[in-house]
Amino acid sequence: MTEVAPVTGAWGIRTLPDERGSVTVVMLAVIATVLVLTVSGLLLASAVLASHRARSAADLAALAAAGMLMRGEPATAACESAAGVAAANHGRVQRCIVSGQEVRLTVAVAAGVERLGVAEARSRAGPGARFVR
């Protein structure tokens, strides 16, 4: 049987000849894993940000529309006001339903990454039942 003599590599570490270069492969795998995790984290952060923006835009737009209705403005003016507030918050009103002095909205906000899609949020605003005239 033939014995393989160990080779002294960098920093004086003794390795067998068939183990040379294995650290390079391991480091490439570690780097690839860190890169995949980083990109996944960024995509998740973009989706969460779009969701938060959609909720905020829907709430603010519904409050703006309800305020217009409380002042006696017509439903079209209230929905236009809601659309302006939603646009200022990077959103787009998809649905605006007015019932008395109550408004129900659906707002969509595109995610920062194109292929992630759109985040949608619904909101409702208006006086409570005991405050309706």
Give the pLDDT of residue 15: 61
pLDDT at 37 over 80: yes
pLDDT tens-digit readout, 72-95: 999 999 999 999 999 999 999 999
Angstrom CA distances, 37 to 49, 50, 91, stand at 18, 20, 29
Domain boundaries, the chain: 23-131
Distance CA 33, CA 49 (A): 24
Tell me the pTM: 0.72
Angstrom CA distances, 78 to 19, 87, 93, stand at 73, 14, 12
